[in-house]
Amino acid sequence: MLAFEQIPNVIKKMPKAEIHLHLEGAFTFDFLFELVQKYGSDPELKSIDDLKKKFIFKDFPNFIKTWFWKNQFFKRPEDFEESTYKTIKNLSLQNVIYAEVFFSPWDFVPNGLKMEEITEAIISGIQKAENELPIKCGLIADIVRDHGNKDAMHRLLQTTPFLNRGIVGVGLGGNELDFPPILFKEVFLEAKKKGFRTTVHAGESAGAESIFTAVNELQAERIGHGVRAIENSDLVEYLYYKQIPLEVCITSNLKTRVFSSLNEHPFDKFFRRGLLVTVNSDDPPMFGADITDEFFLLYDKLKYSFEELRKISLNTIQVSFLSDDEKKLYSKIINDYWRDIT
């Protein structure tokens, strides 16, 4: 039996996978501060601590405002390459062995950059990290629903030359309430035809119907969040029966007030019912919790056993967009670690 003080380290060292993380929300504060100094002229920001304070949000509009504020400092391809490298390195330091990360290059086109050059820079940041560290990454292009479906098809076409050259899938983040999944049915069916793996954010700011549409109409392989399925017990049973993977981000949901407390959060209910759930960090520096913190929350607050943490890590590998051989390899790394611990 391990002493309690040792536990965080065990959780820090456990091999993990993360499949719901946005690169634009996963910068390191050190690097963002470098960019602010390089391009910025904000006299209020004299230190990294000042910068961190800026990321303590009063409310959701403030979160969105800060999100766009920081985007202005990513001006050149090398900024994306370096930021990606540092983010992946940070994951590797937590023993993340595999990550699928969203990126939305189109958000930075107004900064004077082309989608293609941003994508190339991000791929090269990932390759640099993969060459140096024991981590592998797959990119998911987040088509972003906020511009409607016409833009979305164009974005899919722009993404296609990168398929299997860094990019493994397409996702759909952004404003779920105003741009419901059904608008993107054609784009997602086309993406599937082209060979992209698919995941759709649903059931975060909208309810059960959004999830149902994402699964049945868009044929999404995974659901980002999916937590508001709890509002409809038939849907919960349906997700269980079909074993649709959910990319759950507990801290993110609490910070954006999808649920007002951990008690109300449905992760535990889903897990106990046998839904295929994973835990993820979404936007770690924005929400103040990385993937290690998410696993520690399960252990510390929800009293999950090591066996359950192992199960959730294996779920993540199982529902990832890796090949079967790779899944076997990463599952073995996870199992070997826990065999030595328990």
Between 82 and 282, whose beta carbon lies closer to Zn ion? 282
Smallest distance from Zn ion to CB 11, Å: 23
Q: Give which of 269, 247, 245, 250 is closest to 318, Cα–Cα.
A: 245
Between 14 and 276, whose beta carbon lies closer to Zn ion? 276
Spatial distance between the Cα atoms of 91 and 199, rounded to a whole number of angstroms:
21
Dihedral pair phi/psi, residue 197, rounded to 5°: -80, 155
Strand partners, 246: 223, 277
136-142 and 167-172 strand pairing: parallel
What sections of 25-71 are H helices per DSSP? 29-39, 48-54, 60-71
Dihedral pair phi/psi, residue 288, rounded to 5°: 70, 25
Residues sharing a CB contact under 8 Å with residue 320, sequence separation 6 or more, in sequence order: 17, 19, 98, 100, 138, 327, 330
Find the Cα–Cα–Cα–Cα dihedral 148, 150, 153, 154, rounded to 10°.
Answer: -110
Between 77 and 284, whose beta carbon lies closer to Zn ion? 284
Residue 190 has which token pair?
Answer: 């086309």
Between 71 and 124, whose beta carbon lies closer to Zn ion? 71
Smallest distance from Zn ion to CB 22, Å: 6
Dihedral pair phi/psi, residue 224, rounded to 5°: -80, 125
Is residue 76 within 8 A of residue 108, CB to CB? The reply is no
Between 90 and 199, whose beta carbon lies closer to Zn ion? 199
Smallest distance from Zn ion to CB 143, Å: 13
Is residue 215 within 8 A of residue 242, CB to CB? The reply is yes
Going edge to edge, which strands form the sheet with 197-202?
16-22, 96-103, 136-142, 167-172, 197-202, 222-225, 246-248, 277-279
Binding site for Zn ion (CB under 5 A): 282
Residue 191 has which token pair?
Answer: 């993406």
Q: Give which of 220, 73, 203, 199 is closest to 140, Cα–Cα.
A: 199
Residues sharing a CB contact under 8 Å with residue 79, sequence separation 6 or more, in sequence order: 35, 73, 121
Residue 69 has which token pair?
Answer: 């504020």
Smallest distance from Zn ion to CB 332, Å: 29
Between 82 and 204, whose beta carbon lies closer to Zn ion? 204
Q: Is 204 assigned a catalytic role? A: yes
Which member of 204, 209, 217, 247 is catalytic?
A: 204
Between 79 and 282, whose beta carbon lies closer to Zn ion? 282
State the residue number with the nearest CB to Zn ion. 282
Q: Which residues are catalytic, by number?
A: 204
